[in-house]
Amino acid sequence: MTMTAPPIAMTEPSLWRQSLGLLWRDKFAFVAVLFLLLVVFAALFGSTIFGQSATRINLAARNAPPMSMHLGWHYVLGADSLGRSILARIAVGTRNTMMVAGLSVIASLLIGSLLGFIAGYRADWTTGVIMRVADVLMSFPSLLLAMIVLYVLGAGIANLVLVLAITRIPIYLRTTRAEVLEIRERTFVVAAKVMGASPLRLVWRHIRPTVTPTLVTIATLEFAFVMLSESSLSFLGLGIQAPEFTWGAMVAQGQSYLGTAWWVAFWPGLAITLTAMSLNLVANWLRIVTDPVQRWRLEARSSSNGGGNE
Amino acid sequence: MAAAMSETSGHLVEVKHLSVEFHTRNGVVPAVRDVSWHIDRGETLAILGESGSGKSVSSSALMGLIDIPPGRITSGEVLYCGEDLLKATPERQREINGSRIAMVFQDTLAALNPVYPIGWQVAETFRTHGVARAEANAKALELLERVGLPNAAARFRDYPHQFSGGQRQRIMIAMAIALNPDLLIADEPTTALDVTVQARILGLLKELQRERGMGLLMITHDLGIVAGMADRVVIMNAGRIVEAGTVKQVFESPQHPYTRSLLDAIPGRHGFPDIAERAAPAEPLLRVEELTKEYVTPAGLFRPARPPVRALGGVSFTLAQGETLGIVGESGSGKSTLVRTLIGLEEATSGDAFFRGRSLIDPTAETRDLAQRQIQMVFQDPTASLNPRMSVFEIVSEPWAIHRDALPRAQWEQRVGDLLEEVGLKREHAGRHPHQFSGGQRQRIAIARALALKPDIIICDEAVSSLDVSVQAQVIALLKALKDEFGLSYLFIAHDLPVVRSFADRVLVMHKGMIVEQGPTREIFENPQHDYTRELLNADPLLSHHAA
């Protein structure tokens, strides 16, 4: 309990180097960050590199299996039912996938947690209104809601993001509210209140930092869920419209060939899994690093190349 | 049944040269080293130690409760009637646990199963040993009556949460003694209880021990319990036994420096300070008049309004500049409600309180701001009252961040350092986080934060209750020194009477939301007028031990 944690060095290296050192100590998180950098790279430059090969139909390469190198290196992961390179499609599809999933997760996270803070901190009619609306949202089948909204507003990336964000708001809202309700009764919050801290300060300086790690973890899990919901909407023709496509749409398209050409659905599915897993690992690392009580776990870990802050 | 067993070693239980270590990622941590003690039938042995001293480890070894790994028993024997339990098979260990050696825990709510009625749980002990249901129930009821559970027959089917802490501890004791064990281990059995309840539970344990002739092993941090209960005592510090002997021997002529420091830390060991009577100034700093707080359950749609619950019933007192007023009472006496009402966390039903002549109950914005600066609080549990995500600098400087005009930003660093030195910490500690400090040090940080705005009054809500005795004495010494230096007044809320006796100028005894007695500390302790005060004083094992 006492001074077991290593003392903080007086001359600390820059924050950037320090976090890099801490990242290196968690090898899983390190690899995850590398993978996410690759995803970001693909989102930015995927279409420049692969250009037309993601959409060009090549009937000679229909359902070509992985490692069909004789067709060109683009076909290393195989080809889909129209002979399009899966590698190219995954790379080019990254941007749409990330945009839809990222935007809707961020939007629902922000709106949900904001409403959650209000519902958790204020104990008046606003709480009742917010919670009942959330109940209605949760009890209504989200896919049905999405179909109605998209049918009325028309399919498109913006509407898709809107629908996915709205249906996932209650998750963040309820979690945030539950945590706020518990944390606001903790003694350190009461202590600040007694000193005269404003509600804004209580929420921002005391409650928010404690809730954030939970929310970030949920958001990373939601990322995968949103990607798959988007694919089912796309499957119903309400999501992304051809010729635009996403990883989810690729999985949906490959489902019918699972018996004969598993790779059509497998590779985009793997991309979704790896992205979600990497985000989760990074979120976990972030949670430990930002928690002063847990941080020593990383700092105490021996680092093989001495890239620490000793 | 027990007599049939051969007793080769002569002792009921004997622990010989026990060493236990725990393997953690940071290396091997020894929990206890070379610990030996023994206990006989009909005897009470106390193992006394502060938190982290390893006082519970040897009894865990006795019950086979040490997790292996990470734990490892490196040497020693634990003999029960001559049989080494460390070598016993798990089946044999289970046979002994509960029936031959039983245990009572501190947290009774966690130790009882919340989804079964208590009668069922006590009878379960019999049923697992093949007693028929009806007979088991009859035996369980008899036991519950024996441990003095009020209305045992009517409450046989009630659930654990419907009982008070003291009643739950009685139920736990009933379960522990159900099979007539040879040894009863009580691990901090009364730590969570009020003094008067504690006295009754300890009395019950003594009685049962006499009646059944079992050995009683008390594991505690409380010197008062040792003095009042035990025949012999083993004092542990940092995993080693530093002293062992009869209670009389150890208390009267302690050999080891640690024992001496522990005994010196008992409030009033060297007599209580004589507090000079002072003339009350014309306008006291804080004046509370007939403060009342009632909790009303409003009538529901199908439910009539219940009579309001009175948490505070017309409380009046004053606090003068530079005075320490002790507020004593058990849980539910209204002392916390009083504090919460004074600092504006609860609204008073009627009555008023004045700080420097301004009303705190219906404050103007200006008064509220003044009160938030001039009345500060130190809470019971420093682990909970300091935000674990903030550095010590952020914690101590928070009052200035809230009251922007109090101190210019440029001086914060300097002042935080000054304050930390003031409370006995180091300037460099400002960069650390609360978890890197011990409990006593954390409370010092909380005190530094309370001092930041140079307040007139500091309310200490059980501020030293969760600390070990020696640390408690240091924190109280610090509070005393700060009082003289800054001319502070304290409202010192505590259930620990010796601490109040050594610290307060005046004492106020609360019971069921009312002040039953108030006056100068010496008068209250030496010549209590009210029955409740007398009961409270008699219940305290240390005070009554001194008196005896």
Confidence of residue A303 (pLDDT cuts 50, 70, 90): very low
Over residues A64-82, the mean pLDDT reads: 78
Flag whether pLDDT at B5 surpasses 80.
no
Provide the β-strand partners of residue B187. Answer: B219
**Does the beta-carbon distance from A194 to B345 stay under 8 Å?**
yes
> For the residues of B496-543, what is the DSSP string, one character each?
-HHHHHHH-SEEEEEETTEEEEEEEHHHHHHS--SHHHHHHHHH-HHH
Distance of CA B333 to the CA centre of its chain: 16
Residues of A in contact with B373 (CB under 8 A): 196
Question: According to the model, what pLDDT value does residue B253 have?
Answer: 85
Over residues B55-72, the mean pLDDT reads: 79
CA–CA separation, B48 and B37 (whole Å): 13
Q: How many CB atoms lie within 10 A of CB A29?
A: 23
Q: What are the residues of chain A with a beta carbon less than 8 Å away from any beta carbon of chain B?
A: 1-5, 7-8, 10, 186-188, 190-198, 201, 205-206, 209-210, 290-293, 300
Pull the structure tokens for residue A112. 């949900």
All residues at 6 or more sequence positions from B521 whose CB lies less than 8 Å from its CB, including other chains: B272, B275, B326, B500, B501, B504, B505, B506, B507
B485 burial type by CB count under 10 A (0-12 exposed, 13-18 middle, 19+ buried):
exposed
CB B221 within 8 A of CB B469: yes
Higher pLDDT, B305 or B227: B227
**Closest residue, chain B, to A9 (C-alpha):** B431
By Cβ distance, the residue of A191, A201, A292 closest to B435 is: A292
Residues of A in contact with B398 (CB under 8 A): 192, 195, 197, 205
Question: According to the model, what pLDDT value does residue B7 have?
Answer: 43
For the stretch A179-227, pLDDT in tens is: 999 998 888 998 998 888 888 898 888 999 889 989 988 998 888 788 8
For the stretch B235-289, pLDDT in tens is: 988 888 888 888 888 888 888 888 888 888 777 666 666 655 555 555 788 999 9
Question: According to the model, what pLDDT value does residue A308 have?
Answer: 37
Instruction: Tell me how long chain B is.
Output: 548
Over residues B43-58, the mean pLDDT reads: 85
Question: According to the model, what pLDDT value does residue B69 have?
Answer: 67
For the stretch A31-55, pLDDT in tens is: 999 999 999 998 888 888 887 777 7
Flag whether pLDDT at B312 surpasses 70.
yes
For the stretch B353-371, pLDDT in tens is: 999 888 888 888 899 999 9
What angle do the packed helices B118-127 and B133-146 form, to 10 degrees? Answer: 120
Side chain identity at residue A80, one-letter code = D
All structural domains of chain A with their residue ranges: 41-300
Return the residue in A179, A187, A286 with the most chain B beta carbons within 10 A, the one to mutate for interface testing: A187
**Does the beta-carbon distance from B387 to A291 stay under 8 Å?**
no
Q: Give the whole-number percent of chain B exceeding pLDDT 90.
A: 16
**Chain A closest-CA separation from residue B388 CA (Å):** 7
Question: According to the model, what pLDDT value does residue B61 have?
Answer: 82
Return the residue in A195, A287, A293 with the most chain B beta carbons within 10 A, the one to mutate for interface testing: A195
Asked if this assembly's ipTM is beyond 0.85, the reply is no
CATH number listed for the domain at residues A41-300: 1.10.3720.10
Question: According to the model, what pLDDT value does residue A48 have?
Answer: 81
Over residues B55-60, the mean pLDDT reads: 83
Q: H-helix or E-strand containing B177? A: helix B165-177
Confidence of residue B4 (pLDDT cuts 50, 70, 90): very low
Flag whether pLDDT at A92 surpasses 90.
no
User: Which segments within B224-363 are labelled E, that is strand?
Assistant: 232-237, 240-246, 286-295, 309-319, 324-328, 350-355, 358-359
Flag whether pLDDT at A292 surpasses 50.
yes
Angle, CA of B373, B375 and B378, to the nearest 5°: 115
B96: nearest Cα among B12, B26, B30, B19: B12
All residues at 6 or more sequence positions from A8 whose CB lies less than 8 Å from its CB, including other chains: B431, B432
Flag whether pLDDT at A107 surpasses 70.
yes
Domains of chain B and any CATH numbers: 2-115+159-264 (3.40.50.300), 286-294+308-547 (3.40.50.300)
Higher pLDDT, B433 or B82: B433
Residues of B in contact with A200 (CB under 8 A): none
Within 389-428 of B, beta carbons closer than 8 Å to A belong to 389-391, 398-399, 401-403, 428
Max distance between CA atoms of chain A, in angstroms, equals 75
By Cβ distance, the residue of A5, A188, A193 closest to B387 is: A188
Flag whether pLDDT at A248 surpasses 70.
yes
**Chain A closest-CA separation from residue B174 CA (Å):** 35
**Does the beta-carbon distance from A193 to B345 stay under 8 Å?**
yes
**Does the beta-carbon distance from A191 to B437 stay under 8 Å?**
no
SS3 B458: strand
Question: According to the model, what pLDDT value does residue A307 have?
Answer: 38
All residues at 6 or more sequence positions from A5 whose CB lies less than 8 Å from its CB, including other chains: A296, A299, B435, B436
Flag whether pLDDT at A8 surpasses 60.
no
Question: According to the model, what pLDDT value does residue B270 have?
Answer: 65
**pTM here?**
0.78
What letter does residue A203 receive in the DSSP assignment? Answer: I
**Does the beta-carbon distance from A292 to B388 stay under 8 Å?**
yes
Pull the structure tokens for residue B363. 């404050």
Over residues B308-331, the mean pLDDT reads: 87
Residues of B in contact with A8 (CB under 8 A): 431-432
CA distances to A67, A239, B142, B214 from B177, in Å = 74, 69, 12, 9
Residues of A in contact with B436 (CB under 8 A): 3-5
CA–CA separation, B393 and B427 (whole Å): 10
CA–CA separation, A300 and A22 (whole Å): 10
Higher pLDDT, A192 or B67: A192
Mean pLDDT computed over every residue of chain B = 84
Confidence of residue A147 (pLDDT cuts 50, 70, 90): confident
Burial track B75-94 (b if 16+ CB lie within 10 A, e otherwise) = ebbbbbbebebbebeeeebe
Over residues A132-142, the mean pLDDT reads: 86
CA distances to B204, B318, B485, B547 from B504, in Å = 32, 14, 17, 20
Residues of A in contact with B402 (CB under 8 A): 192, 195-198, 201
All residues at 6 or more sequence positions from A25 whose CB lies less than 8 Å from its CB, including other chains: A298, A299, A301, A303, A308
Return the residue in B360, B369, B402, B447 with the most chain A beta carbons within 10 A, the one to mutate for interface testing: B402
All residues at 6 or more sequence positions from A109 whose CB lies less than 8 Å from its CB, including other chains: A172, A215, A219, A222
- At CB < 8 A and 24+ separation, what contacts does B81-85 make? B81/B5, B81/B6, B81/B7, B81/B8, B81/B9, B81/B12, B81/B13, B81/B182, B82/B6, B82/B7, B82/B8, B82/B9, B85/B61
What angle do the packed helices A27-50 and A86-121 form, to 10 degrees? Answer: 120
With tokens 């949900």, the residue in question is: A112
Max distance between CA atoms of chain B, in angstroms, equals 79
All residues at 6 or more sequence positions from B104 whose CB lies less than 8 Å from its CB, including other chains: B169, B172, B173, B176, B184, B185, B186, B187, B189
**Which of A158-172, B302-316, B335-349, B466-480 comes out lowest in average pLDDT?**
B302-316
- Contacts across the A-B interface (CB distance below 8 Å): 82
Cis before B69? omega within 30: yes
Pull the structure tokens for residue B333. 């006496």
Side-chain-side CA neighbours of A18 within 13 Å: the count stands at: 13
**Does the beta-carbon distance from B399 to A10 stay under 8 Å?**
no
Mean pLDDT computed over every residue of chain A = 82
Angle, CA of A136, A138 and A143, to the nearest 5°: 110
**Chain B closest-CA separation from residue A293 CA (Å):** 6
**Does the beta-carbon distance from A300 to B343 stay under 8 Å?**
no
Whether the CB of B386 is below 8 Å from some CB of chain A: the reply is: yes
CB A112 within 8 A of CB A171: yes
Question: According to the model, what pLDDT value does residue A115 have?
Answer: 92
Question: According to the model, what pLDDT value does residue A117 have?
Answer: 92
CB A92 within 8 A of CB A54: yes
